[in-house]
Amino acid sequence: MAAPAIETSGLDVGYPGRRSAVTVISGLHLTVEAGTFLSILGPSGCGKSTFLRVVADLLAPLAGTIRVMGETPSAVRSGRGVGFVFQDSTLLPWRTARENVRLPIQVGRRSLSRMIDDRADELLELVGLSALSERLPHQLSGGQRQRLAIARALLGEPRLLLMDEPFGALDEITRDRLNDELLNLWRRTGTTVLFVTHSIAEAVYLGQRVIVLAAHPGRIVADHDLRPLKGPDNSCSREDPAIVAAMARMRSALGAAS
């Protein structure tokens, strides 16, 4: 049995302040099996993005322990184990679409980046942007930019994909389409996904499991396993009564917590 993708105990997450640290989430106990698509749902300020930053080793935990695939976050990051997709696509405006996707093989330790196959063209194909590979980011739509950011995060086949409200700025139609594309990518790659969102519908549609965070203090107020409600490949219909009921349960969990 492989090590869990994420294992935390007594984890305090927040920002080190000048006098005293600002704790956003305290005493987090969470275990996520490898290969899971986990949705992390919560209102602004509940610390869901901060938690992702601790997993990605962008921020040190204030207290407690965290293991990512059995290792420390820093070991996983320096071994290129994580891909990160930001809310704003964070594409470099002076690079073409293809060169943006290829960034991961151009930086970092040579010994590591050289081992990564240049699968840029394949990934561009996968996210449907082959024809636009020579475009600059400002010549692409918001949805295309996020697709590109996902392709870049997937270059190097990370074992863990962290997504911080990646579709938050998109219109609903584009968002729904990208949700389906993301599920397809996840089925192909089998990577663990931690998907942060404040959309209940999105969290339920995508996640095999949904944890609901409340703010002040940040804590888990609900933890739902949705696998029994969905198909074996984590597919479901947005109109399925069981799915609609799950959304209602989460809405009330969020309401009761605030």
Partner 1 sequence: MNQGALSPFAQTALPILGAGSLILAWQFLLPLAGVPAYIVPTPTAIAGVFSRNGSLLLSNLWPTAIEAFSGFVLGNLAAVLLAVVFVHSRTLQAAYFPVVLFFNTIPVLALAPVVILIFGLGMLPKIVIAAVICFFPTLINMIRGLESASPSEHELFRVLSATRWEIFWRLRLPRALPMLFASLRIASATAVIGAIVGEWIGSDKGLGALIIQATFNYQSDRLYAAIVLSSLLSIGFFMTVVAAERWSVRYR
Out of 94, 111, 232, 239, the only residue in the binding site for partner 1 (CB under 8 A) is 94
DSSP classification of residue 3: P
Bridge-based pairing of strands 37-41 and 209-214 is parallel
Shortest distance, CB of residue 49 to partner 1, whole angstroms? Answer: 11
Interface residue with partner 1 among 26, 27, 45, 78 (CB under 8 A) is 78
Burial of 136 (0-12, 13-18, 19+ CB in 10 A): middle
Decide: is 137 part of the binding site for partner 1 (CB under 8 A). Answer: yes
d(CA 52, CA 198): 14
Q: Minimum distance from CB of 86 to partner 1 (Å)?
A: 4
- Pair type for strands 82-85 and 37-41: unpaired
Q: C-beta of 94: minimal distance to partner 1 in Å?
A: 5
SS3 223: strand
Which lies closer to partner 1 via its Cβ, residue 27 or residue 79? 79
Could you tell me the smallest distance in angstroms from the CB atom of residue 115 to partner 1?
13
Contact pattern for partner 1 over residues 101 through 120, marking x by CB under 8 A: --xx-xxxx--x--------
CA distances (Å), 165 to each of 53, 67, 75, 114, in order?
A: 13, 23, 25, 30
Binding to partner 1 in span 5-64, by CB under 8 A: 53, 56-58
DSSP 136: -
Where along the sequence are the contacts to partner 1 (CB under 8 A)? Answer: 53, 56-58, 77-78, 80, 82-84, 86-88, 90, 92-94, 103-104, 106-109, 112, 136-138
